[in-house]
Amino acid sequence: MFLTVVLLVSPAFVSITEEIQRRRTFAIISHPDAGKTTLTEKLLLYGGAVQLAGSVTSRKNQRATTSDWMELEKKRGISISSTVLQFDYNGYRLNLLDTPGHKDFSEDTYRVLTAVDAVVMVIDSAKGIEPQTRKLFEVCRQRGVPIFTFMNKCDRPMKEPLALLDELERVLGIGAFPVNWPIGNGFEFRGVFDRQTKQMHLFERVVGGKYRAPVSVGSLNDPEVRGQLDDATFLKTVEELEMLEHAGEIFDDAAVLAGKSTPVFFGSGVNNFGVQLLLDGFLKHAPAPKSRVMGGIEISPANPEFSGFIFKIQANMDPKHRDRIAFVRVCSGKFDRDMTVFHSRSEKKVRLSSSHKLFGNERETVDEAFPGDVIGLVGHDSFGIGDTLTTDPKILYKEIPRFTPEAFSYLHNPNTGKYKQFRQGLDQLLQEGVIQALYLRNSSIKVPLLAAVGPLQFEVVQFRLESEYGAESRLEAAPWSVVRWLPTDIKEDEIDALSLPTGSKIAYDIGKNPVVLFSNDWSAEYFAKTNERVPLSAQPVQTARE
């Protein structure tokens, strides 16, 4: 009997399950400015993936982080686009995705959430739960993604830790289990108490937080560690810890994996306080890649057929290589460089020869990859966001959410001599899904009408056109703020017969689907009342293979 089992389990299968078990793929999410990029940088520092956090030569206000590498990100100090960083730590292979917090870039963040198995939610401890964190949390909850919480910026006057936990439970409706507890607060913030090992970790600040913070570890009664704290801080910490013990809550792994409870870690990213504890605690409890269910079929990561989907496309990441990368999340089987796969959109077989592992804007050829990995594929113009790549054409992922644009603007090309660059740049950005283009019906206007989730996306388009394609552009506000899709099978004469509110206009999206542009919600509602038999939709209808 024993022999039969051994014979059935082939060495290849053993290695793929081992590889899956050591993968941890996660995103860092939050409201803008809570400290995601800073924490990402520190996780890389503690994970041994970079020697120095940031760059020693970076000037004040000019950040040089590994994950904010775009010109505009460095200039503005905000993240605009998500970044993939793959590195090894303690036997694990981590795929970490830093996301932008600003709502105008949330489409990118939401796509990333389809590609990860867990998230670290960063909260500014002085501010508590902010609106964008709440929205992102909702998406995670719907997807059942396990959430780990990092209460950041404890080095600044923060809300009471108990109040922060209460907020998690009250505002987000999720159970909160403090894995560690802050010692002191604001300027007096000294470190954290690890509730599982019952050890105090007291840190020293290092200028600029570029190196790991020196730490002394000891129990509550350890005189050496105790001697570093003033009485008030020590007594407050002891009292709070007793209260937590008294509450008697225990760490519930199953509730964490189901996304019903979140382990909470306190710290300060910029000062490196509590970063190692977060990383180790996360790895201890976060899940390895799981099965995905698509159209009623369960696809296990250990399925021998290779499958994955494209969740992001970005061009010109490295000025040395003017090309575009399709980011693929591997979901099942093993990826081998040069393998031939079925591509869902074109329904054709393609050979994947140029594959890379990614680290910010750096890349390195990769020969094999396993479920959980994010790899970058170069040189396939036909690849689009949401496409499935697989050795089994029956597998089709439909993971990518769509967003309804709320900002509209014409984009002029003031320099006709640069028409080619302007058009080429715009086509690329359209393919990346940064913005959408609409074409007005019966109109002689040749200027592209752009539609985006938020107006900051237009600024990104202009900046990237100029810096990556050398093409100037000029924006002209368009008078609409709402777009709705008409039924795809509507006939031209039926469109002619529609009764349109003043100021509305018919246009077509890039897939030639008809839409109506309205100046406001009221006008859209009025249309619905006066054209009862024509249903409107906030999303384009998806075709079977999309």
Ligand X SMILES: Nc1nc2c(ncn2[C@@H]2O[C@H](COP(=O)(O)OP(=O)(O)OP(=O)(O)O)[C@@H](O)[C@H]2O)c(=O)[nH]1
Binding site for ligand X (CB under 6 A): 30, 32-38, 78-79, 100-102, 152-153, 155-156, 268-271
Contact of residue 361 among ligand X, Mg ion, none (CB under 5-8 Å per partner type): none
The reply on whether position 86 binds Mg ion by CB under 5 A is: no
Q: How far is the CB of 360 from ligand X (least distance, A)?
A: 14
- Could you identify the residue written with the tokens 């990118």? 108
Q: How far is the CB of 66 from Mg ion (least distance, A)?
A: 11
Query: Contact, 333 vs 307, CB < 8 A?
Result: yes
CA 190/CA 184 separation, integer angstroms: 6
Query: Contact, 27 vs 99, CB < 8 A?
Result: yes
Give the tokens for residue 503: 């100021």
The reply on whether position 36 binds Mg ion by CB under 5 A is: yes
Q: Which is nearer to ligand X, 37 or 361 (CB)?
A: 37
- Stretch 54-83 residues interacting with Mg ion (CB under 5 A): 79
Q: Which is nearer to ligand X, 188 or 245 (CB)?
A: 188
Query: Contact, 388 vs 307, CB < 8 A?
Result: yes
DSSP letters, 483-539, are EEEPPTT--HHHHHT--PPTT-EEEE-TT--EEEEESSHHHHHHHHHHTTTS--BSS
Report DSSP state, residue 543: P
The reply on whether position 37 binds Mg ion by CB under 5 A is: yes
Give the tokens for residue 256: 């964490």
Q: How far is the CB of 60 from ligand X (least distance, A)?
A: 11
Q: How far is the CB of 384 from Mg ion (least distance, A)?
A: 26
Q: Which is nearer to ligand X, 188 or 364 (CB)?
A: 188
The reply on whether position 421 binds Mg ion by CB under 5 A is: no
Burial of 107 (0-12, 13-18, 19+ CB in 10 A): buried
Q: Which is nearer to Mg ion, 67 or 431 (CB)?
A: 67
Q: How far is the CB of 77 from Mg ion (least distance, A)?
A: 9
Q: Which of 257, 253, 352, 330 is nearest to 20 (CA)?
A: 330
Q: Which is nearer to ligand X, 100 or 263 (CB)?
A: 100
CA 260 to chain centre: 20
CA 70/CA 456 separation, integer angstroms: 15
Sequence-distant (≥ 6) Cβ neighbours of residue 492 within 8 angstroms: none
Q: How far is the CB of 185 from ligand X (least distance, A)?
A: 12
Q: How far is the CB of 125 from ligand X (least distance, A)?
A: 9
For Mg ion, which stretch binds (CB under 5 A), given 29-37, 166-174, 251-259, 383-391? 29-37
Q: Looking at the DSSP assignment, which residues form a beta bridge with residue 464?
A: none
Burial of 457 (0-12, 13-18, 19+ CB in 10 A): buried
H or E, element range at 488 = none
Q: How far is the CB of 269 from ligand X (least distance, A)?
A: 4
| Residue nearest ligand X (C-beta atom) | 101
Q: Which is nearer to Mg ion, 79 or 272 (CB)?
A: 79
Q: Which is nearer to ligand X, 122 or 449 (CB)?
A: 122
Contact of residue 155 among ligand X, Mg ion, none (CB under 5-8 Å per partner type): ligand X
Q: Which is nearer to Mg ion, 66 or 421 (CB)?
A: 66
CA 496/CA 137 separation, integer angstroms: 43
CA 24/CA 45 separation, integer angstroms: 17
The reply on whether position 102 binds Mg ion by CB under 5 A is: no
The reply on whether position 133 binds Mg ion by CB under 5 A is: no
Q: Which residues bind Mg ion (CB under 5 A)?
A: 36-37, 79
